[in-house]
Amino acid sequence: MKIKDLGEFGLIDRLVSVLSIKNNSVVIGFGDDCSAVEIENQLYLFTGDIQLEGKHFIKDRMPPEDLGWKLVSINVSDVVACGGLPKWGFISVGFPPDTNFDYVEKIYRGINEALDFYKADIIGGNTTSSDQVLLDLFLVGKTERFVSRSGAIEGDFLLLSGFTGLSRAGLELLMMKKSRYEEFEKRLIKAFTKPVARIDLSEKIQKFANSCIDISDGLAGDLGHLQKSSKVKIVIDKSSLPVHSDLTAYCKKYEKDPYEYILYGGEDYQLAFTVSKENLEHFNDCFVIGKVEKGEGIFLIENKKTIKIKEKGFEHI
């Protein structure tokens, strides 16, 4: 069987089955956005993510400063989704030998800008030559309480930290190679090239969320991970899904369905999380979009009808 037949998540499942954790008494969250290790009563979070030319970005359509920023942000988002704050990173990079150093320096300026913003540091790494640009960041964070994607409880409310679908629209606009973009189109492109991880919610997630996942593969796809890990049923109220005015303008101009983007777009790096009724008051700036029920699957309430939706998301393979 070829790995393309397995898909990204099927491949991950197969690879995990080969590995074994020897000291599993201290490991928490294996298979989550992060894994955590408890050392002297302190939880350390570990995560890693890659940006590969041709797979995650096209070199001549992605500002190098934004590429550096995005590399850091997508890793920080995983740490935040587990209730943590980023601390230290190791970065490994590969560049074709004829790459102009100015391009590399601009990537690192974007990395440094993001590190300043998120209050984290790069403390080491590695370099190699490569046929394509490859950026790989391994990030360590800390938390007082690990928040997993497997903690959703029947009766929880499902919340969304912000708008989704913007990044996918921005990517599509970027691929159009237009000579001129309207202002709302520029904002959508920036949502794709320079996402901001919701580090402002980290402390609240740590204290009050029962489960959490960041939206990297699309809302429906990532909720599918949360639902399966928690062994629950998720019911979304379509009328409660937030629709950004820029996405509305984009979908009107190009005759698209905004909910296709909201549910199945990716790389927005918002947070989807569940909380008890008692803790809703701590998230007045977020959107309540559904509830957690007994059962399995993801369902959408539309016009008083409840339909099961596909849990598809973006796959890198």
Predicted TM-score of the model (pTM): 0.92
Between CA 312 and CA 222 the distance in angstroms is 8
Q: Which of 159, 178, 182 is nearest to 245 (CA)?
A: 182
What is the spatial distance between Cα 9 and Cα 206, in angstroms, rounded to a whole number?
A: 27
- Block residue for tokens 């201290």: 26
Choose the weakest-confidence range: 7-11, 45-49, 116-120, 306-310.
7-11
Work out the pLDDT band at 83, boundaries 50, 70, 90: very high
289 Ramachandran zone, left/alpha/beta (phi>0; psi -120 to 50): alpha
What pLDDT sits at residue 12?
A: 58
Report the C-alpha gap between 294 and 279 in whole angstroms: 20
For residue 82, give the nearest of 258, 271, 230, 242 by alpha carbon: 271
Query: Among 126, 34, 132, which residue's Cα sits nearest to residue 83?
Result: 34
φ/ψ region of 145 (left if φ > 0, alpha if ψ in -120 to 50, else beta) reads beta
For all residues of the chain together, what is the average pLDDT?
92
* Contact assessment for residue 168 and residue 133, using Cβ atoms and an 8 Å cutoff: no
Beta bridge partner(s), residue 44: 37, 142
Residue 23 has pLDDT above 80, yes or no: no
192 beta partners: none
Which residues neighbour 15 within 8 Å (Cβ) at sequence distance 6 or greater?
Answer: none
What mean pLDDT is predicted for residues 81-96?
Answer: 97
Contact 36, 82 (CB under 8 A): yes
At CA 71, angle to CA 261 and CA 57, rounded to 5? 60
pLDDT bin (cut points 50, 70, 90) of residue 65 is: very high
Q: How many CA atoms lie within 13 A of 68 on its CB side?
A: 18
163 three-class SS: coil
Pick from 2-11, 30-39, 64-73, 129-138: least confident: 2-11
CA distance 315 to 216: 10
Please tell me the predicted confidence (pLDDT) of residue 310: 86
| Least confident interval from 29-33, 79-83, 99-103, 239-243 | 29-33
Q: Give the per-residue pLDDT at 4.
A: 73
Q: What is the DSSP letter of 149?
A: T
Residue 10 pLDDT > 70: no
pLDDT value at 18 more than 70 = no
List, in order, residues 6 or more apart from 154 with CB less than 8 Å away.
232, 292, 293, 294
Cα–Cα dist 223/105, whole Å: 37
Q: What domains appear along the chain, each with residue ranges and CATH number?
A: 3-143 (3.30.1330.10), 157-308 (3.90.650.10)
Give Rg (Cα) of the chain.
19
Segment 210-262, tens digit of pLDDT: 999 999 999 999 999 999 999 999 999 999 999 999 999 999 999 999 999 99
Residue 299: CB atoms within 10 Å: 17
Q: What are the start-end ranges of the H helices in the chain?
A: 3-18, 64-81, 101-118, 166-176, 183-193, 202-208, 219-230, 245-254, 258-264
pLDDT tens digit sequence for 165-222: 999 999 999 999 889 999 999 999 999 999 999 999 999 999 999 999 999 999 999 9
